[in-house]
Amino acid sequence: MEIPFISKFIKAMDKPVENTLTSNYTYLFGPTTSGKLVNEFTAMQTSAVYSCVRILAEALASLPLHIYRYKEAGKERVYTHTLYHILHDEPNSEMSSFVFRETLMSHLLIWGNAYAQIIRDGAGRVVSLYPLLPNKVEVGRNSSGEIYYVYTPNAEENPHLKSYASYNLRRHEVLHIPGLGFDGLVGYSPIAMAKNAVGMTIATEEYGASFFANGANPGGVLEHPGVLKDPKKVRDSWNEVYRGSTNAHKIAVLEEGMKYQQIGIPPEEAQFLETRKFQINEIARLYRIPPHMVGDLEKSSFSNIEQQSLEFVKYTLDPWVIRWEQALQRSLLLPREKREYFIKFNVDGLLRGDYQSRMNGYSVGIQNGFLSPNDIRHLEDMNPIPEGEGGDFYIVNGNMTKLKDAGVFANKVRSE
């Protein structure tokens, strides 16, 4: 199956000329000072990285995503636009909107870039969106200054692309959401930028695993008063009986005057647990995740968890939301639509706070005339009060009046 708009481009321009491919940053991964290999897959095997990526990917994927039209007095949601169903329900026939956004967000958090192929109809309108793996995409600029993308799949990951063939995709055929970068064109991988911190996390996890694999005891020396003819046999027989977490705390029987001398530093003295905890906070700092969201409740309490959660939305999630919104508007809306429509996530539900705080805020809003009962019911996902029963009235507290009108009523009584 040919891709709309792509076949003509490939025939006219088999290979871009005078290009500079700038998106392949895999060389930034690799060995670290801890001696551990760090890449996108080994990083995700650590609980801290996996937890942070999952928190952000699921948070963004769960937000309502709508298309709005500008009005003279505000905005209105547009359900009839072709993009509404694609973004809100099904970007393609194989994925829900949640899975699609969760996948692209995980790409963005691991590789620093998220790509999706845009399938359009003859009028240029978006028909469907398919994710593209970032490590198989290269971004370039041809001699005329036009940005293009080269994608080389190696599996049946996209029904519109054949395997083991490079595809040149033009700018209007790719949804590209870049992360933090240095050239404004592509983003850098957070994992690659902080690979030493991730490598140390991997090293501490492996040390803990090997510690328990050795019976939760450090290494030691078997001392024999005489000369052993076959020391390897003695060592192997000791390991066979006492090595491993399942053999921990077994009673050792030493013969022929042998003694066991422990060497090495116990994990408590090496502050192993503190190191692991610090590395978890280090990864949480990398993704700007509050520690309590990755299971560290040491400095959390009932009085500050809510505030930390609100700060997570404002300072962590909101920048990602804006990055997504602007990329969607730039790539998916037609040029003639950009002045009339805009795409927006709804994060209001995450910022509402606890029930009592919301009710107190609504009470202030009604008494000061900037909220009606139906406004509040809409915010709380409740059906409106029927028309004619006062649900849309805006009222103010009658005990308050303008400063210049203070005493007018009393003067009027005296004159009468």
Using an 8 Å Cβ cutoff, are 52 and 43 in contact? Answer: no
Strand partners, 398: none
- The residue among 230, 204, 218 whose CA lies nearest residue 282 is 204
| Per-residue burial over 194-215, b = 16 or more CB atoms within 10 Å of its CB, e = otherwise | bbebbbbbbbbbeeeeebeebb
Main-chain dihedrals φ then ψ at residue 329, nearest 5 degrees: -65, -40
Range with the poorest average pLDDT among 136-145, 322-331, 333-342, 404-413: 404-413
Which whole number is the average pLDDT over 91-107? 95
Number of alpha carbons in the 13 Å side-chain half-sphere of residue 195 = 22
| pTM for the whole structure | 0.73
User: pLDDT of 268-310, one tens digit each?
Assistant: 545 666 777 778 888 888 999 988 888 777 776 666 777 788 8
pLDDT of residue 411: 61
Mean pLDDT across 156-162 = 63
> How would residue 10 be classed by pLDDT, with cut points 50, 70 and 90?
very low
Percentage of the chain lying above the pLDDT 90 cut: 29
Residue 49 CA to residue 286 CA, distance in Å, equals 9
- Which residues lie below 8 Å from residue 352, measured CB to CB, with a gap of 6+? 358, 379
The one-character DSSP state at 383 is P
Domain boundaries along the sequence of the chain: 1-215+265-351, 219-263, 354-415
Q: Inform me whether the pLDDT recorded for 401 exceeds 80.
A: no
Q: What percent of the chain has pLDDT over 70?
A: 67
Amino acid at 288: R
Mean pLDDT of 6-20: 38
Cβ atoms of 377 and 383 within 8 Å: the answer is: yes
Residue 333 has pLDDT above 50, yes or no: yes
pLDDT of res. 162: 62
Is the pLDDT higher at 216 or at 165?
A: 165
Q: What size, in residues, is the chain?
A: 416
- Residue predicted with more confidence, 401 or 5: 401
- Higher per-residue confidence, 37 vs 285: 285
Helix (H) or strand (E) holding 141: strand 137-141
Whether the per-residue pLDDT at 267 is higher than 70: the answer is no
From residue 54, how far is each of 60, 106, 134 by CA, in Å? 10, 7, 18
> How many Å is the maximal CA-CA distance in the chain?
125
Label residue 85 by pLDDT band (50, 70, 90).
very high
The DSSP symbol for 386 reads P
The DSSP result for 152-195, as a single string, is ---SS--TTS-TT--EEEEGGGEEEEE-S-SSSSSPPPHHHHTH
The mean pLDDT value of the chain amounts to 78
CA dist 323 and 396 (Å) reads 40
Query: What per-residue string of b and e applies to 351-366 under the rule 16 or more CB within 10 Å gives b?
Result: eeeeeeeeeeebeebb
Amino acid type, 195 = K
| pLDDT number for residue 256 | 63
Q: 76 and 66 in contact (C-beta within 8 Å)?
A: no
Phi-psi region of 342 (alpha: psi -120 to 50; beta: other; left: phi over 0): beta
Instruction: Please tell me the predicted confidence (pLDDT) of residue 403.
Output: 59
Separation between Cα atoms, residue 56 and residue 313, nearest integer Å? 10
- Distance from CA of residue 22 to its chain's centroid? 23
Pick 247 or 233 by higher pLDDT. 233
> What's the mean pLDDT in 356-360?
81
Contact 318, 347 (CB under 8 A): yes
Q: What is the DSSP letter of 385?
A: P
Look at residue 353 and tell me whether its pLDDT is greater than 90.
Answer: no
Condensed to tens digits (0 to 9), the pLDDT of residues 170-217 reads 999 999 999 998 888 889 888 888 888 888 888 877 777 766 665 545
